[in-house]
Each structure stands twice: as structure tokens, then as C-alpha cells.
Amino acid sequence: MRACTTTELKGIIVPIVTPMRADETIDTDELRRQVDRQIDAGIHGIFPFGTNGEGYILDGDEKRLVLETVIDEVAGRVPVYAGTGCISTKETVEQCKMAEAAGADILSVITPSFAKASQHELIAHYETVAAAVKTPIVLYNIPMRTGNAIEPETVAKLAEVDTIIGAKDSSGDWDNLKAYIDLTANKDFGILSGNDALILRAFQAGAKGAIAGCANVYPKNMVGIYENWAKGDLAAAEACQEAIAPLRACFKFGNPNTVVKTAVNLLGYPVGKCRAPFNYLPEEGIEALRETLESDREKGMC
């Protein structure tokens, strides 16, 4: 079954963590609990095996298991995004077809990585992938992780492809994100912020939504950025945006994925560690997280 009846890009989408047991196998029971926790908080979409979901380190069978579990648990309540980008065009097409068959609503296709790709090659890659499936595609730009950036002019060109309906920018570069928005403003196309610090600013500039890792920790607060902005309560939206600064300050202690997953564990949800080797936080980082979470708990954030 399909996860949802709409593919509108809207609101706060959580790149949900992938719960793992001590032996690094997938804990589907906890994954279901995390899905319900997010939906109960008002989240607008669930994105399994994105960056925070450790899609970079899951094999094909694990991705299928995670996606099918999420789609089953979501049961049509919100759209389900699937991270299907791989290094080669061939494998990306295969993963997109897998996710389409499973019933994903939207495919998030990260740029190829490791080898340097020209803009010509990126355009050919995405056009080939788009021609192979009917499910809507969102481009995913995160050059600090992949080594390849989708230039704003390339996004504008790919926005002409019917199957490609949006782009997520996780570059952290405001000028790049703003250019994505401006160059596609007259198209039926949505831009998503992939940097949690820029969410409200992006909404004000015309973005449709955000894929927010911090929603794994504080889903209600992150939803509040969008909901308050949408109803015109800018002060409340700004308060929600500013509230995540202490958590984001903890990212200096390690991989942000590891910090987020550790925080979820410290809140009492047994989602396990990130898969090795990307799972270490120094004790000072863990203690800083504990102090931050306790302070935020007193503020009613969790």
C-alpha cells in the first residue's frame, strides 16, 4: 500500500533515526515506536534512512526492511520519503524502484559521492533516474558529505523534469539555499531546508518545508516552527527556532548524527548507537548533552 495520498512538500519532515540493537541489527519494534512518537507530535512527514537514519551505512536488505516497517506503521497518516541515492546511476535506479514498489511517496536522491561529478553528469544522472520511476523525486544537496554540489542553475534546469518536484539543500550556505528558492519560484517546485538553523529564515524566503534532524529529539518544538509561522505567529516561530541552539551547540563534540541519536537515547528511547565506526562521543560531549536536555526539559521542550 502507498503510505499517503499526497506528495505535497510541506512542513517539518523528520529524517528518523534507525534504531539498532547492541549487535547492530535493526530494531523494528523501536522504529515503530519512534514513528508513532513523531506523528503524535504533529510531524508532517517521515524520512527513513536519510543522513540521520544512517542510510550511508545500511545495505539494500536493511533499507527495504526499514522502509517497509515505516510505511506499514505510518499507515497513510503522513507522506513517507525514502533516501534512494547511491554512487552509481544504475544502483540509484535500483533503489528507487525498490522504494517505489514498497510504496514510498517521495524519493530523496542524494548526489553521487566520492568521485567528482560535473554539473552535466549530475543532470544526466537525475534525468535517467527520473525517467525510470513514476514516484516524485526530491534532489538532495549535501556537498560536505558527498563532495558534489548541485549548483542553483542545475536545480532550475532539473525543475523542468516532471518527476522532480523539489530539492533539499543541506549545504548550510544561505546564499545557495536562497538561490534555489529564487530560481524555482515560478515553477511548481518546492525547496526544503536541510539545515536546522535556517528553517524559519527559509520559510520566510519561500521554502515549502524542512528536513530537520533535531526533530528526532524535539519533534513538537520543530513542528512549532512551521505551524506558528504558517498561522502568522512569528514571535512563537522564532522562539521555537532559537530553542534548538543549545542542542546544536553540542554538535561540536562529534558527528551530528551521533549527537542526535545519543540525545534520543538520553531521553529514554532505546534507539541504540550509530553503526561503527561513527558512534563515539567523548564524555564531555555526553555530559553537555545531559545538561542541555535537562535544561530543555525544564523549558517544556521534552
218 catalytic residue (yes or no)? no
Phi, psi of 98 (to 5 degrees): -60, -50
Given 140, 218, 226, 269, which residue is catalytic? 140
Per-residue CA distances from 132 to 3, 66, 185 (Å)? 20, 23, 26
Query: How far is CA 105 from each of CA 2, 8, 46, rounded to the nearest angstrom?
Result: 7, 10, 10
- Concerning whether 140 is annotated as a catalytic residue, the answer is yes
Under DSSP, the state recorded for 144 is H
- Omega cis (within 30) before 277: yes
What number of other Cβ atoms are within 10 A of residue 48's Cβ? 32
Signed CA dihedral, 278, 169, 33, 286: sign only? positive
* Residue 78 dihedral angles phi and psi, to the nearest 5°: -145, 165
Q: Are 263 and 242 in contact (CB under 8 A)?
A: no
Q: Which of 56, 63, 126, 168 is catalytic?
A: 168
Kindly list the catalytic residues. Answer: 140, 168
